[in-house]
Amino acid sequence: MDFYKQVFENNKQWMSKEIAADGEYFKRMAEGQTPEILYIGCSDSRVQPENFMGARPGELFVYRNVANMVPNNDISSLSVIQYAVEHLKVKRIVVCGHYGCGGVQASVSHRNFGETNIWIRNIQDTVRLHKDELMAIADPEQRHRRLVELNVREQCLNVLKMSFVQRGVFTDGTLSVHGWVYDLETGSVHDLEINIDSMAKDLETYRFLAKEAVL
């Protein structure tokens, strides 16, 4: 049996297991969701946040794309973040990259990826902004790892540019933004300890000072 067909058999077994453990499980799941964390990660099939975070259904609101990006003009990521913040009332937004990211590697390969070039150009902007630091790293693998980390930081900054996020972080104090990196080789996740205060200068241009400011 190929994997596609196996999926439906797996689903039946999973349903039976969950019902045996908790007869009200699916009824409770259908009633709604109250996740505490919005997780923004890479689409890479090897990175499964529910697994490495030990999260149960309903605990994470998950958004994934190539290289865990939050481009300034991307209505998809903006809509997810706004829904999570204003309707689900999440307390934390986590941007999580991973070492060995194909999107990050593609951004510095100088190869032509067709229309995908438009997407990875956002990572190339990060390379341009941090070129001196990156070029000072002689080892290619360590340079890649640092670019992964810097990309996470830039995406956290893009999240913080949004007025409704700024209200939650700076005015109401109900929201925090975090940057993580997942290590495929070890299975460990690292908190980059993104210092929001250190981003203050970068955020000056994007700050909405009035509490009632909107996008």
CA proximity to 134, closest of 120, 119, 123, 147:
147
2 is catalytic: no
98 is catalytic: yes
- C-alpha distance from residue 68 to each of 106, 119, 182 (Å): 14, 11, 12
Catalytic residue among 44, 145, 156, 178: 44
Catalytic residue among 46, 87, 110, 128: 46
Q: Where are the beta strands (DSSP E) in the chain?
A: 37-42, 60-65, 92-98, 176-182, 189-191
Q: Which two structure tokens, joined as six digits, stand for 200?
A: 């203050």
Residue 172 DSSP label: S
Pairing between β-strand 37-42 and β-strand 92-98 as defined by DSSP bridges: parallel
Q: What angle do CA 102, 147, 163 make, to 5 degrees?
A: 100
Catalytic residue among 28, 92, 101, 178: 101
42 is catalytic: yes
Catalytic residue among 2, 22, 28, 42: 42
44 is catalytic: yes
88 burial type by CB count under 10 A (0-12 exposed, 13-18 middle, 19+ buried): middle
Catalytic residue among 74, 87, 98, 183: 98
Please give the single-letter amino acid code of residue 53: M
Q: Which two structure tokens, joined as six digits, stand for 122?
A: 């956002």
Three-state secondary structure string covering 52-96: HHCCCCCCEEEEEECCCCCCCCCHHHHHHHHHHHHCCCCCEEEEE
Query: Catalytic positions, please?
Result: 42, 44, 46, 98, 101
